[in-house]
Chain A
């Protein structure tokens, strides 16, 4: 079955630390990839997406993600986190040719001021 794994369930960092959140998926075909963020009390917002082309994708608020096809991974990175990045982050995979998104279980990030 298709699945998305986010191995880090909880991450705690100090401000200015670097961030990398893992996302791996199990699907052999072409996929579209997404990272969404859910700030406390708010709805899911799109951070960035990858459809094709340059595997290094830049999103909003200084986030980026790299698609490594051979590793079935789409890890999210930010060189220097801020307290305002405290949120829950969801990776989603959309198998090409379908409408469905398959979500990971999410990673709760807490940034200490």
Chain B
């Protein structure tokens, strides 16, 4: 089946620093990738849709200057949390959409901002 990887799996950083999270589709090309945030005991909240070679589309209420998304190739999208604050601590999950319009999810990245 389709495999999506994320790196790192967990990261701890100091407040005010930036953190980059990578999302890769390992065995298929994904023109569209998605970034979600999952709060404890809650569902996934879509943050943005990342399209290869173009600007990401952000959901309402998501700060595009804080959560920078780059989708430079058909297999890689990155999310950079800039000037992280403790309230940005969360579980970030990416997914990649295949040609059959199915999303496959990465294992997630747990971010803790001190």
A and B interact: yes
Report A's interface with B, CB cutoff 8 A: 32, 34, 36, 42-46, 49, 51, 90, 94, 99-101, 103-106
Q: Once the chains are docked, how many angstroms separate the CA of A42 from the CA of B4? A: 13
Bound-state Cα–Cα, A39 to B23, Å: 21
Decide: B32 and A99 in contact? CB cutoff 8 A: yes
Interchain CB contact under 8 A, A99 and B49: yes
Measured CA separation A78–B97 after assembly (Å): 27
Assess whether A36 is in contact with B42, with CB atoms less than 8 Å apart. Answer: no
> Can you list 20 pairs linking A and B with CB atoms under 8 Å apart?
A34-B102, A36-B105, A43-B106, A43-B107, A44-B93, A44-B95, A44-B105, A46-B1, A46-B102, A46-B104, A51-B101, A94-B101, A99-B34, A100-B46, A101-B34, A101-B46, A103-B44, A104-B43, A105-B42, A106-B42
A44 to B93, CA, bound (A): 9
How far is A49 from B98 in the complex, measured between Cα atoms in Å? 14
B79-109 vs A: 1/0 string, CB under 8 Å?
Answer: 0000000000000010101000111111110
In the complex, A42 Cα to B34 Cα: how many Å? Answer: 18
Q: Hey, which chain B residues are within 8 Å of A43, CB to CB? A: 93, 105-108
A90-B44, A99-B97, A101-B46 known; A49 and B102 CB under 8 Å?
A: yes
Per the bound structure, the CA–CA distance linking A71 and B96 in Å amounts to 30
